[in-house]
Amino acid sequence: MTFKNKKIILTGASSGIGLELLRYLIKNNADVFASSRRQKEILAEDEKKCQFKLIDLTNESEVKQYVDRIIDNTGKIDILINNAGVAQDLSLLEDLEYEEFQSVIRDNVMTTFNMIKYILPIMKKQNSGIIINVSSRSGRRGVPKLSAYCSAKFAVRGLTESVAKEVENSNIKCISISPGGVNTEMRRKLFGDEDAEKQQPTSRIIDIITKILIDEIEVPNGADVLIVKDKEPAIKVPES
């Protein structure tokens, strides 16, 4: 499998699914523009093999400048993977601070909105491209004590479906993936090490994403791919 000469933007690339996906894409010769708000686990050798930038993706002007610089450098974008996002501390809704709820929405939804806003016109101009938004199983069903996170991931799904309908009859596709439990630092912080170790590995999510990108798994425009442990990916097509 190779992504040679593919120009890929990947957000949330400094830990978890994003970092493992970054390493996979680099290994398979992709030209990756990776970003994160925090330089967490990314190593110097990873940085040397991609173009990594620390950026606040909730800041619209920063995003615009970032995308403009990429286009000046490459002239095109083949793939956008919106992986940036955060969870919340487990909390009943009535105990959740307004600022925390707002922050979770901003860091999951506005990051996705800003990136699509400035990448989509480029894809329209070149009449090609794929956008993958990383949602969650929590974007399909509510989870107690995770009201902010669920709300954000439901919003990512709505954003995905809306954009998909706006690019119908073109060579652009906008889809989402919704992983169930994954063994990541985020999961460990929420539910503990014992729970996290029972979840699916990040490598499975990477495998599904890359198979989608090479059309080994065919996903219709606007659809969502549910990825849960020990089951085949389930593709949900939106209502017309």
Q: Which of 24, 66, 118, 149 is catalytic?
A: 149
Listed residue (86, 131, 132) closest to 109, CA to CA: 86
As to burial, measured by CB atoms within 10 angstroms (0-12 exposed, 13-18 middle, 19+ buried), residue 21 is buried
The CATH number linked to 82 is 3.40.50.720
DSSP state at residue 231: S
Number of structural domains the chain divides into: 1
State which residues form the domain around 134.
7-236
- Residue 43 covered by a domain: yes
pLDDT surpasses 90 at 40? no
Q: How far is CA 7 from CA 76, 117, 145, in A?
A: 7, 18, 39
For 123-169, write each residue's pLDDT tens digit.
Answer: 999 999 999 999 999 999 999 999 999 999 999 999 999 999 999 99
To the nearest whole number, what is the mean pLDDT of the chain? 91
Q: How confident is the model at residue 86 (pLDDT cuts 50, 70, 90)?
A: confident
The pLDDT, as a whole number, for residue 41 is 56
Told to judge if 24 belongs to the known catalytic residues of this protein, a careful annotator would answer no
Query: Which residue is listed with tokens 């999951």?
Result: 108
Angle, vertex CA 15, rays to CA 76 and CA 45, nearest 5 = 70
